[in-house]
Structure 1
Amino acid sequence: MNHQDNNVLKGALKQQLIVDSESGPYKTIQEAIDRAEPNTVIKIAPGLYSSNIVINKPGLRLEPKEKVGDIILVVSSQPTVLVDLVGDQRCTLIGLKISHSGTSEEVEELEKLIEGQEIAKHLFGGHEDGGPGLESNPDEEFVSKVPIETNMNCVVLLNGGKLFMEECFIALNFIVKSFKGILPGIAINNGAEAQLNRCEIKGTSSKSQDAKTIGIFIKLGDLIVKDCKVHNHTYGGILVQQSPTNKIVRIVSSKILQNKKVGIHVVGADAVPQIEKCRIENNEGPGIKVGIGNKAKIFGNEIKSNVVGIEVLSAEPSIFDNKIDKNFTDGILTKVFEQLRCDCRIRSNQTISGNKENGIHCTGQNNYTRIEDNNFIGYNKKAGIKADTESRISILKNKISKNLGQGVLLVETSSAVIEKNEISDNIKANIALGGANSVDTFIVENKILGGRCEGIFLIECGKCWIFRNTIAENNDGIVCITAVPVIRLNNIQKNKSNGIMILKDSRPEILENNINDNDGIGLFIRDKSHGKILNNVIKSNEIELVVERRNPSLESIVQENKISGDIRIPQNYDCILQ
């Protein structure tokens, strides 16, 4: 056997050390680590261990000695476990229960940061009462003010190297009441890499607890979380600061439950964390929050019963194939910070339904959210999709139905391209838009069906284009109040009341539409309204045409359209009919 074969054999027969707090040979875990060579397996007997652990040798593996019994590690200050390796050096923790009781020492600096809930405001962009966000950078302040240091209170601190954890239980529910600082379950520092499989990271459910617990806090490191449960943390479940140079942040098939502030918060411009196939429920804040410029991929998740399902702040995430249901405000909220662009893509989600406000809410100047190919946006208590405050969004090929408010609501100053959707059976208007500076909306090739009120409702809006839609079986097809739309090449039929009704001082262009089989009036022109009305086919309605007041621009309306049936126009137009 040559020298090389000897080295191979040595690698295969790893050194094993036994830790037993009662019978030894090593009574503390740190004693075994100090005596171990690299790549040693340290087998730990069940018991309570109360001293801090520092792992600074590569290849160590800490695991249970026996299949039955708990290995419990608890300390009161600094990290319970500090992993301080370099480069590709790694260590492994398997089947341990690790906790921290907190201490009131060395907390003064953190208390200064927390004074007036300053950290909470910077981290979450809002007030304690859930009010609007601050006009300061809401993403970077927290991670810059709270560095990850080797002496911080923490359960597991990965300062360098690689950490693999499997079937570990991290508990933060035994913290002393006097402790008021920040206490992460796992903290991962710049350049380090962690992989967590089948681990549970538990916070505290005590309402009297003042500690700021965080499940996982990662600052410019790499992370894979798979089949884990992160729950009941007072300052958020998983907080991620990432840069494009980080290799990977993936949170997969995990449960993120009952955390305060936020379930998962990702920040870092151009970084691409992945959140996939997770259950994100009952968090007292956004289930997921995406910070400025972040390009998160969020797919295959069930996001339910959070304050907001997903909140996006001037970011570019891809949100697809999720179920986003029964959240207590909006299912998805996209908004803008200081006019930085928001280019969120919401695509091919299974359901966005049953949310207590809007299914999707887009707000702010330079908000260009794109909403495409979603299977069902429905049963939301307000609108299926709402845009306001100068947002400019795209709504393409979605099924939007059975919302208790509008299907699509564009509030004043906002606009949208609404194309090739099926928008049906909403309690209020299927599409409603209008208000000051409401211009440049395109409504093209949609099926707008079965609305309890209007198919399309326009009020006090500027130029918009309504082309090639099927507008059927609503109460009214189109209602236009003091607006100037271009309505062209639509099929407007079988509505329960009127096909098109224009009121107040509207000036529409109504061109080449088929208006037929409506139960009321095909085209109803009221008040001072008039416009360019040419080449429409109006037939088989209960009443084809009603013009309420004389207007010179409407004198040739009968000749300039194909109208057959009951026509009711002012008397001095009669000579034109002869």
Structure 2
Amino acid sequence: MEEQFGRTATDQPTQRRIYIVDKEAVKAGTAKPNTFKSIQKAVDEAEPGSIIRVQPSLYEESIYIDKPGIIIELGEKPGEITLQQQIKPCFFINIAPDETCTINGMRMLLKGPNKDEDISCGIYKEIHRKVPSIAVLPKNTLDLKNCSFKGDTTNDAYTTGVLLLKSDASIYQCQFAHHKSGSIMCDLNPQNKVFIIENQIVSSETAGIYIQGKASRPTIKGNKIRYCRSSAIITYLDVDGWILGNEMTINDIGIEILNNKSKLIENIIEKSHENGIKVVGDDNNTRSMPSVWKNRVFSCGHHGILCMGKYCEPDIRGNIIESNRKSGIKLTDDAIAHIGGTTKDEIKILPNYNSPNLVATGAINVTMNRDGTLGGPGETVTGTMKSINKKFIGTVTKEFNPYVPSINLKSFPNSNIISSNYNQGILIVEGSSAMIYTNKLEKNIKANIALGGRGSGQTKIKYNVVENSKSEGIFVVEGEEKLLIEENDVISNHDGIVLVQSLGIIRGNRIKENQRSGILTASDTKAVIESNNIEENWTAGILIKDPSLPEIRKNEISKNYYQVQMEKHAKKLWSQYQKENPKIIGNNEIPKSTCQIF
């Protein structure tokens, strides 16, 4: 036994006793005095706050730690320390409330079979039939660094890496592999402080990282999670977590948000077998309102981002979503989303994710001019000066100009780029709706934006660049009267905007260079098409198919092959269209009158 001196937080000298565990030396009879054969024996003998240094060997122990401040770490000899168990954890942490246990540099191996065993062990019945390498009981704190965890790979055993039960933890630079019941599993209280940082997780089932607990605020940052036959990260039950800068590759799902408001910022999600991000809001006791900001989601087998449920209301900004097998973003089952750079009456500042606990509340007076500047005279978006009480997360910088009603996307560093997805860029299924502002949608194989039916009247599509789709720029079927498509650039798609049996308002858009029509109306469409600039489309500026009769007024239509092309049912309105659209300049295709002779 040795002694080591340090200092406390009050700068008073402290003395840490050092205990040595050297199984091989004890067996060989070469051990120094007070050297222990087992880790548990050293823990039993140690005083609170002691250091236990373990020399390389295989230790088949289940270690129970009930003394505060114990530090278990590598000894000075080279080699690997492996703890191995079958139906019990390698470590139970059950110390006094708010005390800490530290484990550094251990390798923990769980091997089965354990399916037919009673493995509740009497103290963690919440995970009956799941064996963790480390179980941390309520009100304890674990500091875990540079450890590796391996589950069973031959017996299909129910194993977990770390289990946190209403406890605090810092899990840093550890490696996890082959856990059938999840690598890091957490059930937390609001007051728990959990930091899961820079770990590597491979080949888990159930979840790579799973968090539940109402109002808990874990930080999950900089982890690399691969090859999981499950979601890489799951948050559940009103968690308010920070999921920051993680890399997730070839998992079933990248991140799954179930009925909570976690913040997903600057993650990279690649080649998920199903969805990159899945947001579910199906619990009427809470709203699923995550912030999905500045992530890159690409090459997933289903959708880049899937949002579903009546209580699902994500805020989706600044993401790059590309090359997914289905839609870039899909809303279904009555979900509502904000997709893009602005909201109606608030300013949100993207957080500095290096300081996830920096939260300040302030009040500001805001006016927005039409040119996007703050304050000053002139027309304002919100009308008159108004006070907004808003919780700011992070630091306010000049970079994030929240509202510039133009098509200059450089004014929107928090715009989404939704590109080259195999189906739609954004798909809004009947019953769902969205505020789609200031995004760039391009090169999606089907429509860049598709929506319609019940609930579509709540959708607003404004200030987007919508270009280069092999199908429609914007496709609407059975759109409702209050649907608004305004001030977008719709360029170089097969058709610019297609309206089928739709109402709604199509206003102030620049619709240019589409391969067939700028706007096509079909079926019983009676939408209002006004004040658009429609030019250089290859076949028609506006193509009116039977029996649609849209209201067309105040548009500038020129440089198309035909400015207006209609089927004969609409000829009765041609003179009215000419009168209400004096800037139709060029050739039109209007059916000629016919005379039948009886």
Partner residue, 2:150: 202
Q: Distance in 2 between matches of 1:497 and 1:106?
A: 66
1:415 equivalent among 426, 433, 438: 433
Q: Tell me if structure 2 keeps the 8 A contact 1:21–1:48.
A: no
Q: Tell me if structure 2 keeps the 8 A contact 1:333–1:362.
A: yes
Offset of 1:546 from its aligned partner?
1.6
Partner residue, 2:360: none
SS at match of 2:444: coil
2:585 equivalent among 556, 564, 570: 564
Q: Distance in 2 between matches of 1:77 and 1:356?
A: 37
Q: How does 1:82-93 map to 2 (within 5 A)?
A: 82-93=92-103
Q: Deviations over 1:393-415 (max 9, x none)?
A: 11112111111111111111111
Q: Distance in 2 between matches of 1:59 and 1:534?
A: 77
Offset of 1:516 from its aligned partner?
1.0
Offset of 1:50 from its aligned partner?
4.2
Q: How does 1:80-119 map to 2 (within 5 A)?
A: 80-99=90-109, 107-108=117-118
Point out 4+ residue stretches in structure 1 off by more than 6 angstroms: 7-10, 103-106, 151-154
1:212 and 2:222 correspond: no
Q: Tell me if structure 2 keeps the 8 A contact 1:414–1:439.
A: no
Q: Tell me if structure 1 keeps the 8 A contact 2:92–2:136.
A: no
Task: Return closer, same or farther for 1:440/1:221 CA change in 2, 3 Å cut-off.
Answer: same
SS at match of 2:569: coil
Q: Distance in 1 between matches of 2:261 and 2:479?
A: 30
Aligned Cα root-mean-square deviation (Å): 2.9
Task: Return closer, same or farther for 1:293/1:152 CA change in 2, 3 Å cut-off.
Answer: closer
1:525 and 2:540 correspond: no
Partner residue, 1:465: 484
Q: How does 1:421-436 map to 2 (within 5 A)?
A: 421-436=439-454
SS at match of 1:478: strand
Q: Tell me if structure 2 keeps the 8 A contact 1:531–1:553.
A: no
Task: Return closer, same or farther for 1:558/1:203 CA change in 2, 3 Å cut-off.
Answer: same
SS at match of 2:578: coil
Q: Which moved more, 1:8-17 or 1:353-362?
A: 8-17
Partner residue, 2:292: 346
Q: Distance in 2 between matches of 1:76 and 1:531?
A: 72
Q: Distance in 1 between matches of 2:44 and 2:280?
A: 52
Partner residue, 1:547: 566
Q: Which amino acid in the other structure matches residue 578 of structure 2?
A: V
Offset of 1:538 from its aligned partner?
1.1
Task: Return closer, same or farther for 1:430/1:192 CA change in 2, 3 Å cut-off.
Answer: same
SS at match of 2:546: coil
- Runs of 5+ consecutive residues of structure 1 not aligned to the other structure: 1-6, 111-145, 155-179, 574-578
Q: Tell me if structure 2 keeps the 8 A contact 1:79–1:152.
A: no
Partner residue, 1:55: 65
Q: Tell me if structure 1 keeps the 8 A contact 2:108–2:133.
A: no
Q: Distance in 2 between matches of 1:565 and 1:13?
A: 90
Q: Deviations over 1:251-300 (max 9, x none)?
A: 11111211012111111121111111111111111111111211111111
Q: Distance in 2 between matches of 1:16 and 1:366?
A: 55
1:236 and 2:254 correspond: no
SS at match of 1:558: helix
Task: Return closer, same or farther for 1:268/1:229 CA change in 2, 3 Å cut-off.
Answer: same
Offset of 1:16 from its aligned partner?
4.6
1:67 and 2:67 correspond: no
Aligned residues, how many?
A: 501
Task: Return closer, same or farther for 1:231/1:423 CA change in 2, 3 Å cut-off.
Answer: same
Task: Return closer, same or farther for 1:550/1:282 CA change in 2, 3 Å cut-off.
Answer: same
Partner residue, 1:119: none
Q: Distance in 2 between matches of 1:151 and 1:509?
A: 63
Q: Which amino acid in the other structure matches residue 313 of structure 2?
A: Y
Q: Which amino acid in the other structure matches residue 542 of structure 1?
A: Y
Task: Return closer, same or farther for 1:310/1:292 CA change in 2, 3 Å cut-off.
Answer: same
Partner residue, 2:280: 335
Offset of 1:64 from its aligned partner?
4.5
1:380 equivalent among 291, 301, 324: 324
Q: Distance in 2 between matches of 1:284 and 1:537?
A: 55
Q: Distance in 2 between matches of 1:557 and 1:242?
A: 64
Q: Distance in 2 between matches of 1:317 and 1:447?
A: 29
Q: Which amino acid in the other structure matches residue 181 of structure 1?
A: R
Partner residue, 2:368: none
Q: Tell me if structure 2 keeps the 8 A contact 1:21–1:49.
A: no
1:367 and 2:386 correspond: no
Q: Which amino acid in the other structure matches residue 557 of structure 2?
A: I
Offset of 1:63 from its aligned partner?
4.1
Q: Distance in 1 between matches of 2:477 and 2:176?
A: 48
Q: Distance in 2 between matches of 1:261 and 1:153?
A: 15
SS at match of 1:14: strand
Task: Return closer, same or farther for 1:458/1:79 CA change in 2, 3 Å cut-off.
Answer: closer
1:510 equivalent among 499, 509, 529: 529
Task: Return closer, same or farther for 1:555/1:528 CA change in 2, 3 Å cut-off.
Answer: farther
Task: Return closer, same or farther for 1:59/1:393 CA change in 2, 3 Å cut-off.
Answer: closer
Task: Return closer, same or farther for 1:264/1:564 CA change in 2, 3 Å cut-off.
Answer: same
Q: Which amino acid in the other structure matches residue 322 of structure 2?
A: G
Partner residue, 1:116: none
Q: Distance in 2 between matches of 1:511 and 1:474?
A: 20
Offset of 1:347 from its aligned partner?
0.9
1:400 and 2:418 correspond: yes
Q: Tell me if structure 2 keeps the 8 A contact 1:15–1:37.
A: no
Q: Which moved more, 1:9-18 or 1:231-240?
A: 9-18
Offset of 1:184 from its aligned partner?
0.6
**TM-score, with normalisation over the residues of structure 1?**
0.80
SS at match of 1:217: strand
Q: Tell me if structure 1 keeps the 8 A contact 2:100–2:140.
A: no
Q: Distance in 2 between matches of 1:394 and 1:13?
A: 55
Q: Tell me if structure 2 keeps the 8 A contact 1:236–1:264.
A: yes
Task: Return closer, same or farther for 1:85/1:461 CA change in 2, 3 Å cut-off.
Answer: same
Q: Distance in 1 between matches of 2:471 and 2:124?
A: 63
Q: Distance in 2 between matches of 1:479 and 1:101?
A: 59
**TM-score, with normalisation over the residues of structure 2?**
0.78
SS at match of 2:297: strand
Q: Tell me if structure 1 keeps the 8 A contact 2:90–2:133.
A: no
Offset of 1:100 from its aligned partner?
5.0
Q: Tell me if structure 2 keeps the 8 A contact 1:17–1:36.
A: no
Q: Distance in 2 between matches of 1:563 and 1:198?
A: 71
Offset of 1:47 from its aligned partner?
3.8
Offset of 1:337 from its aligned partner?
2.2
Q: Deviations over 1:72-119 (max 9, x none)?
A: 4445554444444213544444444444556869934x6xxxxxxxxx
Q: Deviations over 1:327-367 (max 9, x none)?
A: 01111111122344211211112x21111111111111122
Offset of 1:474 from its aligned partner?
0.9
Task: Return closer, same or farther for 1:281/1:547 CA change in 2, 3 Å cut-off.
Answer: same
1:221 equivalent among 164, 167, 192: 167
Q: Deviations over 1:123-177 (max 9, x none)?
A: xxxxxxxxxxxxxxxxxxxxxxx7x8459899xxxxxxxxxxxxxxxxxxxxxxx
Q: Distance in 1 between matches of 2:37 and 2:519?
A: 86
SS at match of 1:566: coil
Q: Tell me if structure 1 keeps the 8 A contact 2:68–2:99.
A: yes
- Runs of 5+ consecutive residues of structure 2 not aligned to the other structure: 1-7, 341-414
Partner residue, 1:14: 17
Q: Tell me if structure 2 keeps the 8 A contact 1:241–1:267.
A: yes
Q: Deviations over 1:528-551 (max 9, x none)?
A: 111321111111110111221334
1:496 and 2:533 correspond: no
Q: Tell me if structure 2 keeps the 8 A contact 1:237–1:264.
A: yes
